[in-house]
């Protein structure tokens, strides 16, 4: 298998095997999880395809299987199914094990801070395609979360923070922290240039956009009847 395929498979095995934990009951929600992932994957894959065509980012061929859908390697397509699956798993685990959590102030601080950074990014680098669009979407979603104040948003903020650990590991490897060359490379003209080890700073906002939208749809489909707190 390719380097990219091993990274995707390695990140997927744990959440997949633990999906049958009875307390979490993750496997019982496959309809809402699958629909959320599919609905969000479609526009993100279009975004990914366009940015690949425009040279905003690209892929190092010797790290790939060589199977493409348009300009996207198969492993990249799988990224948009595996990573959201893993993050929804974290979300459901937190709901199952911390049912009575109350971190409203911390959550609001998180969204306010995230919105401020996102707006700042778009302001200082409006010509960087990756910076501008990833940050603009993150700003809109964060501000929407602040206005909404829905109970599930506390769990999402915690999910995002917990997911930063595997995020740094996986994205670090993908961007060259442990390989001879990056699996995924970025055009320096389209980003601010700040890095977390080898990870472009903008990835924080891009992953926020992806995960937030998937969990939003999953939450709507799975917990629609619940108004005061998650089940």
Map residue 73 onto helix, strand or coil: strand
Residues 6+ apart with CB under 8 A from 3: 63, 64, 179, 183
In a domain, 229, yes or no: no
CB 146 within 8 A of CB 207: no
In a domain, 202, yes or no: yes
CA–CA dist 114, 41 (Å, integer): 23
In a domain, 186, yes or no: yes
- Residue 112 vs residues 79, 156, 167, 202, 215: alpha-carbon distances, Å: 28, 14, 22, 17, 19
- Band the pLDDT of 231: cuts 50, 70, 90: very low
pLDDT tens profile 169-225: 999 999 999 999 999 999 999 999 999 999 999 999 999 999 999 999 999 998 664
The 8-class DSSP code of residue 27 comes to: G
Check residue 223 and give its pLDDT: 66
In a domain, 230, yes or no: no
Virtual CA dihedral for 183, 164, 40, 13, nearest 10 degrees?
70
Q: What is the mean pLDDT of residues 32-53?
A: 97
- Band the pLDDT of 22: cuts 50, 70, 90: confident
CA–CA dist 198, 171 (Å, integer): 8
pLDDT tens profile 4-14: 999 999 999 99
In a domain, 231, yes or no: no
In a domain, 37, yes or no: yes
In a domain, 190, yes or no: yes
pLDDT tens profile 50-63: 999 999 999 999 99
pLDDT tens profile 122-160: 999 999 999 999 999 999 999 999 999 888 999 999 999
CA–CA dist 192, 125 (Å, integer): 6
Residue 227: pLDDT above 90? no
In a domain, 26, yes or no: yes
Residue numbers of the domain that contains 172: 3-223
Q: For the stretch 33-44, what's the b/e string if a residue is b when 16 or more beta carbons lie within 10 angstroms of its beta carbon?
A: bebbbeebbeeb
pLDDT tens profile 62-80: 999 999 999 999 999 999 9
Number of domains making up the chain: 1
């Amino acid at each position: 298998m390719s380097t990219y395929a091993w990274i995707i498979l390695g990140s997927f095995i744990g959440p997949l095997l633990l999906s049958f934990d009875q307390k979490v009951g993750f496997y019982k929600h496959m309809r809402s999880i699958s629909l959320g992932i599919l609905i969000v994957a479609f526009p993100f894959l279009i975004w990914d395809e366009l940015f690949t065509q425009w040279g905003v980012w690209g892929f190092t061929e010797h790290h790939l299987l060589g199977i493409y859908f348009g300009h996207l390697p198969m492993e990249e397509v799988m990224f948009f199914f595996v990573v959201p699956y893993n993050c929804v798993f974290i979300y459901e685990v937190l709901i199952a094990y911390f049912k009575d959590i109350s971190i409203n102030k911390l959550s609001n601080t998180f969204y306010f801070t995230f919105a401020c950074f996102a707006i700042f990014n778009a302001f200082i680098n409006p010509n960087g395609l990756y910076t501008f669009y990833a940050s603009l979407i993150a700003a809109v979603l964060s501000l929407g979360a602040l206005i909404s104040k829905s109970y599930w948003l506390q769990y999402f903020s915690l999910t995002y923070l917990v997911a930063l650990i595997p995020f740094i590991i996986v994205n670090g490897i993908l961007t060259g922290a442990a390989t001879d060359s990056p699996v995924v490379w970025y055009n320096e003209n389209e980003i601010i240039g700040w890095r977390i080890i080898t990870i472009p700073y903008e990835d924080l906002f891009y992953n926020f956009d992806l995960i937030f939208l998937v969990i939003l749809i999953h939450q709507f489909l799975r917990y629609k009847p619940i108004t005061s707190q998650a089940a």
